[in-house]
Amino acid sequence: MNPARVDFVTLRLFCAVAQSGSITKGASRCHLALSAASRRLADFEAAVGSALLERTAQGVRLTAAGHVALHHAMRLSQGFDLFGGELAEYAQGYRGHVRLWANMSALTESLPEALARFMARQPEIKVEVEEQLSGDIARAVVEGLADIGVFAEGTPADGLLLRPFQTDELVLICARGHELAGFDALRFRDALVHPFVGLDRGSSLLTLVTEAAQAAGLPLRLRVQVTSFGAMCRMVGAGLGLGVLPRAACAPLLQAYGLTALRLDEAWARRRLLAACSAERPLSAAAQLLWDSMAADAAP
């Protein structure tokens, strides 16, 4: 495909048509006449050399090639939006823009305070923070969607420069009326006879807990899966199962939800969170300042 034959107006139009299932609606969203939109789409398909849309009486749907094209078109459009947005920030007086992706553990523990200290020292730098799963964070840093990432140790990290950021202690939480609530500490296998509340599939914490259950030779009986630490605490407090969370993240919620935290007598219950940047692509001046600041804030 010749890139010179495709522009961002056409890419955005293609995304709008694919998402709405209608050329008419897509053209309207992009403020284009229907005839102009149809011509752009035909030229796009000609440039690609493959049919991307299947026209039907009910509208349009993506072909197999169209699904691939949509994936890349959306990423290119998002990249262009970021490009324009970051340049606009310089015009508004910002000296830099840093995209930081972090997992839930980092965002509920020491990262907010570290960012607050950095931004107090560097008010002219804007830090855009996004919460994602550890594996997605690593890929985003490799692909340049994020400048810096913070994720759990053990995440595949080829092509990344890694640095320790903090260590968190994982604890077992249960409702105060649970039969385990009287213990101060226990082995994980002793908890596996009970049902659990877990995070969504793909989270590094769920992966770690699942692997620990497999190593103990017992299944992890997930009764409920949720998307946040707060939701897990509520479910555990309601008696729906046990949970494993970072101590610092759940400590403020124990009283509110009637929970008890038990120390896990397991080596894996102390895990490291790592900061990462690309090993191939140099950081911008603003991102380098944040990277150095995070190193200074890292736990020993």
Structure tokens at 68: 């691939």
Q: Would you state the pLDDT for residue 49?
A: 86
Quick one: pLDDT at residue 2? 59
Stretch(es) of the chain classified as CATH 3.40.190.290? 169-269
Q: How many whole angstroms separate alpha carbon 86 and alpha carbon 286? A: 12
Cα–Cα distance, 171 to 221 (Å, whole number): 18
So what's the pLDDT on residue 79?
A: 72
CB-based contact 191:260 (threshold 8 Å): no
The domain 3-89: what is its CATH number?
1.10.10.10
CATH architecture of 90-166+272-297: 3-Layer(aba) Sandwich (3.40)
> ∠273-275-276 over CA atoms, to 5°?
130
Q: Which of 156, 181, 180, 142 is nearest to 279 (CA)?
A: 142
CB 182 within 8 A of CB 134: no
pTM here? 0.64
For domain 169-269, give the CATH number: 3.40.190.290
Pairing outcome for strands 125-131 and 96-102: parallel
What is the pLDDT, as a whole number, of residue 71? 85
Q: What is the pLDDT of residue 73?
A: 85
The whole-angstrom separation of Cα 124 and Cα 26 is 38
Q: Which two tokens stand for residue 114?
A: 């570290």
d(CA 126, CA 154): 30
State the alpha helices, DSSP H only, in the chain.
Answer: 8-20, 23-29, 34-48, 64-91, 104-108, 111-121, 134-143, 204-216, 229-237, 247-250, 254-257, 285-297
Tell me 220's DSSP state.
-
Domain limits, CATH 3.40.190.10, in the chain? 90-166+272-297
Cα–Cα distance measured from residue 274 to residue 293, given in angstroms and rounded to the nearest whole number: 14
Which stretches of the chain drop beneath a pLDDT of 70? 1-5, 82-95, 299-300
Domain with CATH 1.10.10.10 in the chain: 3-89
